[in-house]
Amino acid sequence: MEVISLNPTEQKRDPYIRAKIVARDKYTTFPFVVNGRLEGINYFGDAKYGNCHHISPLYFLKRHRPGVDPNHPLNLMIIDGQNHNTIHKDWYERYYGCNTELVKQEVYYGGKVGWISDYDDVLTGMAIIRSYDYIQEDPTWFVPYQSEIVYHYEMLEPDFVYRYRAFS
């Protein structure tokens, strides 16, 4: 019997990675997004009390993109628990009406996005900026990914960087 875990706490986590992302993010946050555009950032407190969120979920990457590291720093953000639950649970009601067999066929086997992806681009952009800024502070942080982080930072739209910095 195959089980699809809808509860992210049931998936294996690496506590060492979480500590690095907590150090980078400093605060538990969640973006305010309108039509895909960053319009603000909500702050909820110290990052150590937040949830370490995989922007592209662990189960999806392991099954459909096996060569991709799910714990890449650009795929992780510390967000507040309520928004984390929303992202991981609401898609089920929103898209599939609790039809477990359809979820299995389209998401688990078919590779469709099985989460609310409305925030993915903004969360990834935030992870890029935070990672870039943090390697300026700590050059030993995630050394294998540093050149990739710098590349992605340089490719970000200047308006997004400006808006992020204005809200943080």
The number of domains in the chain is: 1
Q: Kindly indicate the confidence band of residue 4, based on its pLDDT and cuts at 50, 70 and 90.
A: very low
Other beta carbons within 10 angstroms of residue 157's beta carbon come to 9
Whether residue 18 lies inside any domain: the answer is yes
Other beta carbons within 10 angstroms of residue 15's beta carbon come to 7
CA 22 to chain centre: 13
d(CA 96, CA 138): 44
Query: For residue range 56-99, what is the model confidence (pLDDT) as tens digits?
Result: 877 777 777 778 888 899 999 999 999 988 887 766 666 656 66
Whether residue 3 lies inside any domain: the answer is no
Whether residue 13 lies inside any domain: the answer is yes
Which residues lie below 8 Å from residue 161, measured CB to CB, with a gap of 6+? 129
Query: For residue range 110-158, what is the model confidence (pLDDT) as tens digits?
Result: 666 667 778 999 999 999 999 999 999 999 998 989 999 999 999 999 9
Give the containing element (helix H, strand E) for 24.
helix 15-25
